[in-house]
């Protein structure tokens, strides 16, 4: 039997949405299975059938079957359609909360649970969220000392890169006023 792919980011659809799906996603965030979930009730553009469109990010990578047995194991949630996300987390979040197809008379209000910043940018290997967090902190003005205290292991490995980023973002070239009292020295070479 072939191995099922494991991933962290999933999009889902459930026709005839009920409060139980929203509660299942909220419970997943509170019990530590999910880091983030968002969604809303929508109307299908062709048939006007009500459905829930949602996006969720798991703490650990899981197979599709593992997610269904963990979160959607009741009779009414068994028909939930899940798919591994393509594209970025931001694109999936925007798609699942768009205004164009939002249901004017929803079963429940649009929801958002958890911390979106903890979601990786894409499914798969190679996305280092820890370095993105540190780079954002440096961009916001954190000092080298703060980075070393908060992220000691990363600072030991990447301190030269952090310093180069900080210098590129925050250090400006010195501008001299040639007529000032302390102008730069003039150097002349004679052969």
DSSP assignments along the chain, one per residue: -PPPP-EEEEEEEEES--HHHHHHHHHHHHTTSEEEEEEEEEE-TTT--EEEEEEEEEEEEE-HHHHHHHT--STTTTT-EEEE--S-HHHHHHHHT-STTB-SS-SS--EEEE-GGGS-SSSSS---HHHHHHHHHHHTT--HHHHHHH-HHHHHHHHHHHHHHHHHHH-------TTSTTPPPP-----
Query: Do 114 and 142 share a domain, yes or no?
Result: no
Query: Do 108 and 148 share a domain, yes or no?
Result: no
**What's the Cα-to-Cα distance from 31 to each of 36, 117, 129, 131, 151, rounded to whole Å?**
12, 18, 22, 26, 26
Query: Do 17 and 107 share a domain, yes or no?
Result: yes
pLDDT (0 to 100) of residue 37: 93
pLDDT (0 to 100) of residue 18: 84
pTM: 0.64
Whether 179 is in a domain gets the answer: no
Query: Do 136 and 111 share a domain, yes or no?
Result: no
Query: Do 80 and 144 share a domain, yes or no?
Result: no
pLDDT (0 to 100) of residue 126: 57
Residue 40 pairs in a beta bridge with 53
Q: Are strands 50-62 and 81-84 parallel, antiparallel or unpaired?
A: unpaired
Query: Do 60 and 153 share a domain, yes or no?
Result: no
pLDDT (0 to 100) of residue 175: 74
Task: Single out the residue in 118, 151, 185 at which a domain terminates.
Answer: 118
Q: How many CB atoms lie within 10 A of CB 59?
A: 16
Query: Do 102 and 67 share a domain, yes or no?
Result: yes
pLDDT mean by block of 10 residues, the chain; 191 residues: 74 88 89 91 88 91 87 83 88 90 86 86 66 89 93 93 92 74 77 79
d(CA 151, CA 55): 30
pLDDT (0 to 100) of residue 87: 83
Query: Do 102 and 136 share a domain, yes or no?
Result: no
pLDDT (0 to 100) of residue 4: 63
Query: Do 25 and 90 share a domain, yes or no?
Result: yes
Q: What's the token pair of residue 189?
A: 């070479």
Structural domain of residue 69, as residue ranges? 7-118
Q: What's the token pair of residue 107?
A: 């079963």
Query: Do 104 and 152 share a domain, yes or no?
Result: no
Q: How many domains does the chain have?
A: 2
Whether 183 is in a domain gets the answer: no
Whether 180 is in a domain gets the answer: no
pLDDT (0 to 100) of residue 132: 83
Whether 147 is in a domain gets the answer: yes
Query: Do 148 and 60 share a domain, yes or no?
Result: no
pLDDT (0 to 100) of residue 1: 46
Tell me which residue of 117, 125, 12 sits closest to 71, measured CA to CA.
12
Whether 141 is in a domain gets the answer: yes
d(CA 37, CA 59): 11
Radius of gyration of the chain (CA): 25
Whether 154 is in a domain gets the answer: yes
Q: For residue 13, give the CATH number of its domain.
A: 3.40.1310.20
Whether 49 is in a domain gets the answer: yes
Q: How many CB atoms lie within 10 A of CB 15?
A: 13
Whether 74 is in a domain gets the answer: yes
Query: Do 111 and 84 share a domain, yes or no?
Result: yes
């Amino acid at each position: 039997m072939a191995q099922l792919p494991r991933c962290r980011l999933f999009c889902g659809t459930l026709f005839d949405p009920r409060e139980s799906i929203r509660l299942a996603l909220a419970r997943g965030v509170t019990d530590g299975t999910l880091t983030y979930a968002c969604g809303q009730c929508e109307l299908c553009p062709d048939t006007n059938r009500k459905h829930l469109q949602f996006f969720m990010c798991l703490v650990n990578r899981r197979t599709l079957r593992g997610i269904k047995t963990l979160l959607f194991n009741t009779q009414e949630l068994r028909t939930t359609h899940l798919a591994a996300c393509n594209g970025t987390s931001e694109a999936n979040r925007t798609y699942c909360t768009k205004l164009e197809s939002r249901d004017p008379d929803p079963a429940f209000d649009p929801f958002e649970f958890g911390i979106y910043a903890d979601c990786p940018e894409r499914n798969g290997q190679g996305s280092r969220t820890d370095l993105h967090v540190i780079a954002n902190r440096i961009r916001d003005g954190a000092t080298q000392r703060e980075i070393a205290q908060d992220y000691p292991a990363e600072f030991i490995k990447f301190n030269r890169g952090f310093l180069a980023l900080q210098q590129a973002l925050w250090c400006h070239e010195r501008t001299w006023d040639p007529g000032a009292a302390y102008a730069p020295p003039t150097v002349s070479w004679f052969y």
